Amino acid sequence: MRFVLEETPADQTSCDLLALPVLEPGSLQGEAAEVDRAVGGRLGSMAKAEGFTGKPDRTVLLFSPEAKARWVLLVGCGAEATPERLRRYAAVAVRRARDLRASRVALAPGTAGATPEETVRAVVEGAGLGTYRFDRYHKAEDGAEVAEVVLLIRGAGRDALAPAVRVGEATVRATRRARDLVNEPANVMTPSALAGVAKEVAAAGGLEYRVIELAEARAMGMGLFAAVAQGSAEPPKFIVLEYRPDGASRTIALAGKGVTFDSGGLSIKTASGMTHMKGDMAGAAAVIAAMGALRDLAVSVRVLGIAPATENMIGSAAVRPGDIVRGLGGKTVEIVNTDAEGRLVLADAIAYAVRAGVDEIIDLATLTGSCVVALGERTAGLMGNNQPLLDRLLNAAGLAGEQLWQLPLYDEFLDAMRGEVADLKNSAGREGGAERAAAFLGEFAGTTAWAHLDIAGPAFAEGSRFPPYITAGGTGYGVRTLLRYLASAR
């Protein structure tokens, strides 16, 4: 899909489909009114006949073979054309265009609800993500794809907005890459395969690449990571990527849980509980994908991307409930529940970042069902030890259109994780599960500024409860927030 900026009026734009955003209560104004006049008022009449009121994602479609646009689509944007509403509008438009086999699509979003740069970026993201589908295992079928999206930017210069298009395209590529990684089946996306993808990302993005194998991880003291890995026949891979721009004075570490399949170990999950466990590496997928976009976004800080990749299986060597292991940070952990494995691999990743002397650590993990119960399927939980860092992440998520909500970390959450026979235990029951897991991780961050995103809910989409630019399967949650945050970091 190619994006083009044009300053042509909407009613004079030649295209297969022209999509126009309409606010509530559905009256046609501005460019929509101009297009309506060009088609003899039929667009407004049809909207009235269909009871169109501009509610979000609702549409009216007019076939107009005599006009410059063969199809005209009205898309509801609600009360205000915010960047998120425009992201949704663009996704609705390109998905409808694909159904109509429309190759050239024109979008006229205006800039009433945001700056021209934010508007363009949102529309590029919505269009680029809205057409995503994971179909590589389907028999090849003939189908039409949208080849070109024209962004009509009356009143704004093309040269000034071209960088916003490039940033949007880089964000789309990274998010789609993360979705692909999550959607691959576990027999394909093994730890070794994930390491291979990371190597490709490093080569393309000018990153340094390193994989720590199991023997070296054990020798370094990564007992928690090794304990999770020991029940699988697949060799684990502790993946490290590094982005080092000239003149960088600060270092931010990204750590993503990379459990490529989670059976629960000896504390085995139910059959239904394993259904989407190929996606238990969504945190690592977000980190690897985001690392590949840093050069395109001219990020000015050094970034260390850490993805501890392993399976959690039930082989004869699998770790047992009651076993005690020592992590890279020196603390001992009693493994009460082998299905609380994500915090173990992340603990060693966080300790690795601390040893590297980073200034901040941001981790992402499909960590707890408790967070889904608390916040639902579309919202990630945010916890950490540094409020300014958390505030910046909340702001970045708001700009990215990813829902993120801060949860508390009271002292009693850590108290619950203290062990009777070891420094810590890896589980303390269901109550406050997301917060207790975060408190466990915080012990390995120490005094380093640290933020934890529990993405168990929004990392994988089912049904129609997600925005139209998110299709079923892996969502790539976290990539856009990370890129927003890192692009603004100094």
Instruction: Indicate which residues carry an active-site annotation.
Output: 269, 343
Environment class of 270 (CB within 10 Å of its CB; exposed 0-12, middle 13-18, buried 19+): exposed
Q: Which token pair is 140?
A: 């090849």
Q: Alpha-carbon distance 217 to 224, whole Å?
A: 10
Q: What's 44-107 look like in SS3?
A: HHHHHHCCCCCCCCCEEEEECCCCCEEEEEEEECCCCCCHHHHHHHHHHHHHHHHHCCCCEEEE
Strand 460-461 relative to strand 380-384: parallel, antiparallel, unpaired? unpaired
CB 229 within 8 A of CB 318: no
In terms of Cα–Cα distance, which of 105, 87, 118, 115 is closest to 151?
105
User: Could you check whether the bond before residue 388 is cis, i.e. omega within 30 degrees of 0?
Assistant: no
How many CB atoms neighbour CB 295 within 10 A? Answer: 15
In the numeric block, the tokens 């609702």 are attached to 58
Q: Provide the terminal-to-terminal Cα distance of the chain, rounded to the nearest Å.
A: 33
Q: Position 7: which residue type?
A: E
CB 345 within 8 A of CB 366: no
In terms of Cα–Cα distance, which of 424, 420, 257 is closest to 330?
424
In terms of Cα–Cα distance, which of 146, 151, 86, 75 is closest to 114?
86
CB 20 within 8 A of CB 35: yes
Buried-state track 68-93, b at ≥16 Cβ within 10 A, e below 16: bbbbbbbbbbbeebbbbbbbbbbbbb
Say how many residues make up the chain: 490
Q: Which token pair is 403?
A: 């829902």
Q: Over the Cα atoms of the chain, what is R_g?
A: 24
